[in-house]
Amino acid sequence: MAGDKVHPRGLRYIILVGEHAGSMFMVVDVPHYCNTDWIRAVGPNLTEEEQLNLTLPRDADGEYEQCTMYSPVDWDLDSIRAYGLNATEKCSSGWVYPTAQQPSLLTEFDLVCDRKDLGDISQSLSMVGLLVGGMIFGPLSDRIGRRPVLLISMLGQGLFGLAIAFLPNFILYVIFRCIMSTAVSGILITTLPLATEWVGVSYRSTAVLITHCFLAAGQLILAGLSYGIRNWRLLQIAGSAPMFALFFYFWVLPESPRWMVTRGKIEEAKKYLKKAAAINKRTIPPELLDQVPCETQTKTGSILDLLRKKHLLKVTLVMACAWFVDGLVYYGLSLNVTGFGLDIYLTQFAFGVVEIPGRISCIYMLRWFGRKKVQAVLLLVSGLMCLIIVGIPEDQAVAITVLAVIGKFAASASFSTSYVYAAELFPTVIRQSGVGLCSMAARVAGIIAPLIRLLEQYHHAIPMSVYGGATVLGGLLSFLLPETSMVELPDDTGTDNPQKSTSLLVYSVLWQVSHFTVPCSWKWDRREIRKILHLFFLFSLN
């Protein structure tokens, strides 16, 4: 490893989960019924039970209706008691939440009954922010660099995330959350090249996957925070404020040397490489650095190259499809955490627990089997779990949850694989554009996933059938992608065989900077693990 920083970036990933996924705990469904205080004008001494019996109809199970009430009348209390009320209407004066002790997003903005779908719609609009972020920050990072885009995105996430906690109405909440998600997208797609462009071939996937483990850790922390903090505004602050603790990134965050070389900033790239070597107590032979050519003409690329070049067009279409179905099943399972029949906090905790081994296992699976097979098989497993859930009776909550957890395990591992795979398939000059385009496909899926859940009102099996069927199709298409395991990263778009267009000199320097040697076998012992974690920590401190 030549200098990327998993430790502080891992902290940032933990915060990302708290800010982006915390909203599903803010809209947990609670018992409610119409506010019928109108009857207090004629019966101020009524008990709560008497008031409800006189003003609320009951459903087939004998419970009070949650979304309808008896229409108010101008009668006196004795007449109401004697003749009763028959005409009903929708709640006109708000709702009462008898069991709610702390204000949630649902109770404060009345996201129930006719407004119930606003929760899923807000999730979709949040995904629109992720989509816009991919469109903006992907090409921008290729143009001005990874470092400035990442710093801007972190600042935006912290500011807008914290502001959400003080908003007075739901419309502003949705707008600010959409803007915050744009910044989140900038962070997600910018950390990827910083991880892959600072390392050699053998540890490229490890650099990405270790940081993704912090996403799973964030889910565990999120479940605990949400269980202990039921006030949605305090929960939002708890998830947003820690981002400001990472202000030191302004001084320690490096730029990608590979990006600087492609932009003709050779001397700046050499300075970063020398710094990394000094941190790792290594020496770069001067003759090796001198071999890096001082190019007067920078290498550039355009997002249109993804459409012009035949090999890039194929990769782009198939990879975007893989990201789309990955996002569909991942967000579909994640956002449906309340629909599996068990406690929402327990289910979320289980999702977080399985994601850690899911992402760690990718380190070994990618080494043993390569990128293509792992990507395809994981998508197939995740899709099949969703399809099996369709055939399980709804009252079998434990069985459904177990299958959902297995599906989430495969989906999270597949998502991590997608990040590694996409970064290796696209050339350096348009890597962010390519990854940003794939990210956009995943965000479109994220927009659609909550809306697909609305189809369960027609039949409960429709959402899982869509999630599962699409994911199985994406898994089959993944077999069309080229293998990139142990292949140098391509730098430009000038060849139909991207494996031959590499910056070997830069990687030679990276290997000199690193403490690591190329492993002669696939065995990975504890000393190698300690080395990579040690290097992550050293570079973050310097």
Regarding beta strands 33-34 and 95-96, do their DSSP bridges make them parallel or antiparallel, or are they unpaired? antiparallel
**Could you tell me if residue 519 is inside a domain?**
no
Render 435-498 in DSSP notation, one character per residue. HHHHHHHHHHHHHHHHHHHGGGGT-TTHHHHHHHHHHHHHHHHGGGSPP-TT-PPB--S--S-G
Is 223 in the same domain as 319?
yes
The residue out of 457, 480, 503 marking a domain boundary is 480
Determine the pLDDT at residue 378. 92
Radius of gyration of the chain (CA): 27
Render 108-174 in DSSP notation, one character per residue. HTT-SGGGTHHHHHHHHHHHHHHHHHHHHHHHHHHHH-HHHHHHHHHHHHHHHHHHHTT-SSHHHHH
Is 153 in the same domain as 71?
no
The two structure tokens encoding residue 227: 């269980």
- Per-residue pLDDT tens digits for 5-41: 434 444 444 455 444 545 555 556 678 888 888 888 8
Is 42 in the same domain as 21?
no
Is 463 in the same domain as 358?
yes
What is the distance between the alpha carbons of residues 439 and 411, in angstroms, rounded to a whole number? 15
**pLDDT band at residue 200, thresholds of 50, 70 and 90?**
low
Is 179 in the same domain as 152?
yes
Is 16 in the same domain as 131?
yes
The residue out of 69, 96, 123 marking a domain boundary is 96
Is 145 in the same domain as 168?
yes
CATH number where 185 lies? 1.20.1250.20
**Could you tell me if residue 243 is inside a domain?**
yes
**Residue environment code for 218-256, b if the CB has 16+ CB neighbours within 10 A, otherwise e:** bbbbbbebbeebbbbbebbbbbbebbeebeebeeebbbb
Is 187 in the same domain as 210?
yes
The torsion angles phi and psi of 502, rounded to 5 degrees, stand at -125, 165
- Supply the DSSP symbol for 427: -
- Per-residue pLDDT tens digits for 108-145: 888 888 888 887 788 778 878 888 887 888 788 878 88
**Could you tell me if residue 532 is inside a domain?**
no
- Supply the DSSP symbol for 65: P
* Total structural domains within the chain: 2
- Per-residue pLDDT tens digits for 286-332: 766 666 555 545 555 556 666 777 777 888 888 889 999 988 888 88
**Could you tell me if residue 255 is inside a domain?**
yes
Q: CB atoms < 10 A from the CB of 274, how many?
A: 16
Is 72 in the same domain as 166?
no
> What domain range is 51 assigned to?
33-96
- Per-residue pLDDT tens digits for 50-71: 888 888 888 888 888 888 988 8
**Could you tell me if residue 210 is inside a domain?**
yes
**pLDDT band at residue 527, thresholds of 50, 70 and 90?**
very low
**Could you tell me if residue 288 is inside a domain?**
no
Determine the pLDDT at residue 237. 87
34: helix, strand or coil? strand
E-strand stretches of 208-298: none
Is 461 in the same domain as 437?
yes
**Could you tell me if residue 541 is inside a domain?**
no
The residue out of 480, 505, 533 marking a domain boundary is 480
**Could you tell me if residue 504 is inside a domain?**
no
Segment (H or E) for 88: strand 88-90
- Per-residue pLDDT tens digits for 33-54: 888 888 888 888 888 888 888 8
Is 348 in the same domain as 426?
yes
Would you say the pTM of this structure is higher than 0.75? Answer: no
Is 143 in the same domain as 69?
no
Which residue type occupies 462?
A: I
